[in-house]
Amino acid sequence: MPGLSPRIELREDEVEVTAIRAQGAGGQNVNKVANAVHLRFDIVASSLPDELKARLLQRRDQRISADGVVIIKAQAHRSLERNRIDALFRLRELIAQAAFTPAPRRATKPTRGSQVRRVESKVRRGAVKLLRARVVEQ
Protein backbone atom coordinates (compact mmCIF):
# COMPACT_ATOMS: atom_id res chain seq x y z
CA MET A 1 0.00 0.00 0.00
CA PRO A 2 1.25 3.49 -0.71
CA GLY A 3 2.47 5.36 2.36
CA LEU A 4 0.41 7.93 4.20
CA SER A 5 3.37 10.24 4.55
CA PRO A 6 7.11 9.78 4.09
CA ARG A 7 7.47 8.21 7.55
CA ILE A 8 4.13 6.38 8.00
CA GLU A 9 3.44 3.28 5.94
CA LEU A 10 0.40 0.99 6.05
CA ARG A 11 1.23 -2.61 5.14
CA GLU A 12 -1.23 -4.69 3.10
CA ASP A 13 -0.85 -7.79 5.29
CA GLU A 14 -1.95 -5.87 8.42
CA VAL A 15 -5.36 -5.06 6.95
CA GLU A 16 -8.02 -7.77 6.88
CA VAL A 17 -10.70 -7.20 4.25
CA THR A 18 -13.78 -9.45 4.12
CA ALA A 19 -16.60 -9.36 1.58
CA ILE A 20 -20.08 -9.33 3.15
CA ARG A 21 -23.60 -8.76 1.93
CA ALA A 22 -24.75 -5.15 1.97
CA GLN A 23 -27.77 -3.97 3.93
CA GLY A 24 -30.73 -1.95 2.77
CA ALA A 25 -32.53 -1.52 -0.50
CA GLY A 26 -31.09 -2.86 -3.72
CA GLY A 27 -33.49 -5.52 -4.90
CA GLN A 28 -32.43 -9.06 -5.70
CA ASN A 29 -28.80 -8.04 -6.26
CA VAL A 30 -28.33 -7.31 -2.53
CA ASN A 31 -29.51 -10.81 -1.64
CA LYS A 32 -27.26 -12.55 -4.17
CA VAL A 33 -23.95 -10.71 -4.17
CA ALA A 34 -21.50 -9.92 -1.35
CA ASN A 35 -20.35 -6.45 -2.43
CA ALA A 36 -19.95 -4.73 0.92
CA VAL A 37 -16.57 -4.74 2.65
CA HIS A 38 -15.75 -5.31 6.32
CA LEU A 39 -12.24 -4.00 7.08
CA ARG A 40 -10.38 -4.84 10.30
CA PHE A 41 -7.08 -3.27 11.34
CA ASP A 42 -5.41 -4.17 14.64
CA ILE A 43 -3.71 -1.01 15.90
CA VAL A 44 -1.62 -2.71 18.61
CA ALA A 45 -0.24 -5.42 16.30
CA SER A 46 0.45 -3.00 13.44
CA SER A 47 3.83 -1.65 12.34
CA LEU A 48 2.80 1.96 12.96
CA PRO A 49 5.05 4.08 15.20
CA ASP A 50 4.27 3.71 18.94
CA GLU A 51 3.36 7.39 19.29
CA LEU A 52 0.80 7.12 16.49
CA LYS A 53 -0.61 3.88 17.95
CA ALA A 54 -1.12 5.64 21.29
CA ARG A 55 -2.85 8.59 19.59
CA LEU A 56 -5.15 6.27 17.64
CA LEU A 57 -6.08 4.30 20.76
CA GLN A 58 -6.88 7.52 22.66
CA ARG A 59 -9.27 8.76 19.97
CA ARG A 60 -12.95 8.68 20.83
CA ASP A 61 -14.11 7.07 17.62
CA GLN A 62 -16.88 4.51 17.37
CA ARG A 63 -14.94 2.65 14.66
CA ILE A 64 -12.21 1.73 17.16
CA SER A 65 -13.19 -1.15 19.45
CA ALA A 66 -12.13 -1.54 23.09
CA ASP A 67 -9.56 -4.14 21.92
CA GLY A 68 -7.86 -1.53 19.72
CA VAL A 69 -9.20 -2.85 16.41
CA VAL A 70 -10.44 -0.45 13.74
CA ILE A 71 -13.60 -1.81 12.11
CA ILE A 72 -14.84 -0.10 8.96
CA LYS A 73 -17.85 -1.19 6.92
CA ALA A 74 -18.08 0.14 3.37
CA GLN A 75 -21.20 -0.49 1.31
CA ALA A 76 -21.83 2.76 -0.57
CA HIS A 77 -20.91 1.38 -4.00
CA ARG A 78 -22.24 -1.54 -6.04
CA SER A 79 -18.76 -2.85 -6.79
CA LEU A 80 -16.71 -4.85 -4.29
CA GLU A 81 -13.48 -3.22 -5.47
CA ARG A 82 -14.84 0.33 -5.08
CA ASN A 83 -16.07 -0.50 -1.57
CA ARG A 84 -12.62 -1.95 -0.75
CA ILE A 85 -10.92 1.24 -1.99
CA ASP A 86 -13.41 3.34 0.01
CA ALA A 87 -12.73 1.37 3.22
CA LEU A 88 -8.94 1.67 2.79
CA PHE A 89 -9.28 5.38 2.09
CA ARG A 90 -11.30 5.86 5.29
CA LEU A 91 -8.69 3.91 7.28
CA ARG A 92 -5.88 6.06 5.86
CA GLU A 93 -7.90 9.18 6.65
CA LEU A 94 -8.39 8.05 10.27
CA ILE A 95 -4.65 7.40 10.67
CA ALA A 96 -3.77 10.73 9.01
CA GLN A 97 -6.06 12.60 11.41
CA ALA A 98 -4.34 10.94 14.37
CA ALA A 99 -0.91 11.72 12.89
CA PHE A 100 -1.68 15.45 12.54
CA THR A 101 -0.51 17.49 15.51
CA PRO A 102 -1.57 21.14 15.57
CA ALA A 103 1.07 23.76 16.27
CA PRO A 104 1.07 24.78 19.93
CA ARG A 105 -0.81 27.99 20.60
CA ARG A 106 1.22 30.96 21.79
CA ALA A 107 -0.68 33.10 24.26
CA THR A 108 -0.94 36.74 23.19
CA LYS A 109 -2.38 39.82 24.85
CA PRO A 110 -4.91 42.13 23.20
CA THR A 111 -3.45 45.41 21.97
CA ARG A 112 -4.18 48.62 23.83
CA GLY A 113 -6.20 49.92 20.87
CA SER A 114 -8.39 46.81 20.74
CA GLN A 115 -9.04 47.07 24.47
CA VAL A 116 -10.10 50.73 24.10
CA ARG A 117 -12.36 49.91 21.12
CA ARG A 118 -13.98 47.06 23.06
CA VAL A 119 -14.75 49.26 26.08
CA GLU A 120 -16.08 52.09 23.87
CA SER A 121 -18.42 49.70 22.03
CA LYS A 122 -19.69 48.37 25.38
CA VAL A 123 -20.34 51.93 26.59
CA ARG A 124 -22.20 52.76 23.34
CA ARG A 125 -24.30 49.59 23.62
CA GLY A 126 -25.10 50.38 27.25
CA ALA A 127 -26.22 53.90 26.25
CA VAL A 128 -28.59 52.44 23.62
CA LYS A 129 -30.07 50.07 26.18
CA LEU A 130 -30.43 52.92 28.68
CA LEU A 131 -32.64 54.77 26.18
CA ARG A 132 -35.05 51.82 26.26
CA ALA A 133 -35.65 52.18 30.00
CA ARG A 134 -38.96 53.41 31.38
CA VAL A 135 -39.19 57.18 31.51
CA VAL A 136 -39.78 58.46 35.02
CA GLU A 137 -41.46 61.88 35.17
CA GLN A 138 -40.43 64.18 37.98
Domain boundaries, the chain: 12-99
Average pLDDT over residues 5-21: 80
Average pLDDT over residues 43-60: 89
At 30, is the pLDDT very low, low, confident or very high (cuts 50, 70, 90)?
low
The model's pTM? 0.67
Specify the pLDDT at position 3.
Answer: 46
DSSP the chain: ---SSSS----GGGEEEEEEPPPSS-THHHHH---EEEEEEESTTS-S-HHHHHHHHHS--TTB-TTSEEEEEE-SSSSHHHHHHHHHHHHHHHHHHHH--PPPPPP----HHHHHHHHHHHHHHHHHHHHTSPPPP-
- pLDDT digit string (tens) for 65-94? 999 899 999 998 888 999 999 999 999 999
Give the residues across from 17 on adjacent strands. Answer: 39
Architecture of domain 12-99 in this structure: 2-Layer Sandwich (3.30)
